[in-house]
A = this chain, B = another copy of it.
Amino acid sequence: MQRKIEVCLTPALLHLYNIEQHIVVVIDILRATSSITYGIENGATAIIPVSQVEDCLAYQDNGYLLAAERNGEVVKGYDFGNSPFSYTAEKVAGKTIVLTTTNGTKALHLANKEHNTVVIGSFLNLEALCNWLATEQRDVLLLCAGWKDQFNLEDTLFAGAVVQRLRGRFTHFDDSGVAAEDLYLLARNDLRAYLHKSSHSHRLAELNIEEDVRFCLQTDTCSVIPVLQGDRLVRMTPGS
């Protein structure tokens, strides 16, 4: 079967792709999709992505945890932000979290079409994700959330890791997939060192989230694939 895997480098380019029937993998490595993966792995019932900080407040009195991050920092008055260390089993098991982030939730909403499937990718669940993508007979779009619609290295590296693992399973690749794979091959022996080249890295250094960055670059510590069902991300169940 002819199958296509493509890489959309930022949400600002998503309109160039027809994703009505695709599997779309949303990628926001630092830190939204890493934290979502970790939270679902740790037993969160669901994570509801919302666009605006204010939208979180509508959920306030229903026992939900509220998570809001803007420009890399927790919004004042919220339970927590985007750090994966907030998504431990102790804090999230059995809970529903309402989340808004700078880039990740925006990408999730843009990706959500009537007949497609939207899942979450991160280095934490790389192998589980690739194993599943390999078995599905569908075209795949890897959607990098980027930074305020700009290209970023960490999301592109992850897209490249997926292309590299699935190369034998697909017949069609785009130029951005070729580039992402080659960048991943350059970087994979020390992802953290490679990201020190990045403009984003300087910004992250200022936010003092080095521990978060290292956490998000761990590979295959989680086995879940969060999938968007209606308005919420839940654990994909076998055969779903």
Contact residues of A with B, CB < 8 Å? 9-10, 12-13, 16, 147-153, 156, 172-176, 178-179, 182-183, 186, 197-200
In the complex this chain forms, how many copies of it are found? 2
Which 9 pairs across A and B sit closest by C-beta, in order of nearness?
A: A151-B176, A153-B175, A178-B197, A152-B175, A175-B198, A174-B199, A175-B199, A151-B175, A16-B149
**Complex contact A175–B149 (CB within 8 A):** no
* A150 surroundings in chain B (CB, below 8 A): 13, 16, 174-176
* A16 surroundings in chain B (CB, below 8 A): 12, 148-150
Known contacts: A13-B150, A150-B16. The answer to whether A183 contacts B175 by CB under 8 A is no
**Complex contact B151–A179 (CB within 8 A):** yes
Q: How far is the CA of A174 from the CA of B152 in the complex (A)?
A: 9
* A186 surroundings in chain B (CB, below 8 A): 182, 186
* 6 CB < 8 A contacts A-B: A10-B13, A13-B150, A150-B176, A152-B175, A156-B179, A175-B198
Nearest-Cβ distance from residue A30 to partner chain B, whole angstroms:
12
Q: How far is the CA of A153 from the CA of B176 in the complex (A)?
A: 8
* A148 surroundings in chain B (CB, below 8 A): 16
**Complex contact A179–B183 (CB within 8 A):** yes
Known contacts: A178-B153, A179-B179. The answer to whether A12 contacts B12 by CB under 8 A is yes
* A179 surroundings in chain B (CB, below 8 A): 151, 153, 156, 179, 183
* A172 surroundings in chain B (CB, below 8 A): 199
**Complex contact A9–B173 (CB within 8 A):** no
Q: How far is the CA of A200 from the CA of B177 in the complex (A)?
A: 13
Q: How far is the CA of A200 from the CA of B178 in the complex (A)?
A: 12
Q: Smallest CB-CB separation from A150: which chain B residue?
A: B16
Q: Smallest CB-CB separation from A9: which chain B residue?
A: B151
Q: Smallest CB-CB separation from A174: which chain B residue?
A: B199
Known A147-B175, A153-B179, A186-B186; further 17 A-B contacts with Cβ < 8 A = A9-B9, A13-B13, A16-B149, A16-B150, A150-B174, A150-B176, A151-B174, A151-B176, A153-B175, A153-B178, A173-B199, A175-B198, A175-B199, A175-B200, A179-B179, A179-B183, A182-B186
